Copies of this chain bind each other. A is one copy, B any other.
């Protein structure tokens, strides 16, 4: 039950229409809670039905017509309640670790390439986060609200740092210390096609 609260948070930061929310998810909240426009429209409908948000007064809200929402007091209260409520952390679920464990049984043939690709992706994400930090959070200048947002960004940075380190270690471990050359450490890897 997190998507509705993600939307409430976004709408409190700034009243928006469905598509505007989708775009803001893509570039900010989506870094730790992604959502498609279909999810968002469905959830906006539910939140409105429950009286937590309402459409901003506008000409005629019809299909194809822009429709903006704002949070009602009940919505803010629900968000505050949810934020303070105890929730257990969800257990880790990572298919790459699973593939590695499978590789211990069926062999690592072909896996190294994808590890290298992941390393590249994580390096790029890390660079993106660092750029955001440089731009939005100049040293020792965080306002109280910004302190919290900076903290969240730090989590992203540290997680990507972990992955890049761990993947680099894994590659030297799998290909052996005398294996094929690795990528130099601070250069983002070139793009390679995903697949799946």
Residues of B within 8 A of A50 (CB): none
Binds B, one of A15-23, A55-63, A152-160: A152-160
User: Which residue of chain B is the closest to A110 with respect to CB atoms?
Assistant: B84
Contact partner, A114, options B87, B96, B117, B118, Cβ 8 Å: B87
Indicate whether A108 reaches chain B with its CB closer than 8 angstroms: yes
Residues of B within 8 A of A96 (CB): 87, 89
Residue contact B195 to A85, C-beta cutoff 8 Å: yes
Residues of B within 8 A of A128 (CB): none
Indicate whether A126 reaches chain B with its CB closer than 8 angstroms: no
A93 to B39, CA, bound (A): 15
- A31 → chain B, closest Cβ, in Å? 7
Please report which residues of chain A, range 93-118, place their CB below 8 angstroms from some CB of chain B when the two chains form the complex: 93-111, 113-114, 117-118
Binds B, one of A41-49, A132-140, A162-170, A183-191: A162-170
- Interface digits, A114-152 against B, CB 8 Å rule (1 contact, 0 not)? 100110011000000000000000000000010111011
Residue contact B31 to A92, C-beta cutoff 8 Å: yes
Residue contact B196 to A149, C-beta cutoff 8 Å: no
Residue contact A98 to B6, C-beta cutoff 8 Å: yes
Indicate whether A180 reaches chain B with its CB closer than 8 angstroms: no
Size category of the binding interface on chain A: 35 or more
Residue contact A114 to B86, C-beta cutoff 8 Å: yes
Residue contact B114 to A99, C-beta cutoff 8 Å: no
Indicate whether A13 reaches chain B with its CB closer than 8 angstroms: yes
Q: Can you sample 20 A-B contacts with CB below 8 Å?
A: A8-B102, A32-B93, A79-B102, A80-B106, A83-B103, A84-B111, A85-B114, A86-B194, A87-B96, A87-B195, A87-B196, A97-B155, A100-B152, A101-B148, A148-B174, A151-B169, A151-B170, A151-B173, A155-B166, A158-B166
Additional 9 contacts, C-beta under 8 A, given A82-B102, A83-B106: A5-B99, A9-B98, A32-B97, A90-B94, A92-B159, A97-B152, A154-B166, A154-B169, A155-B166
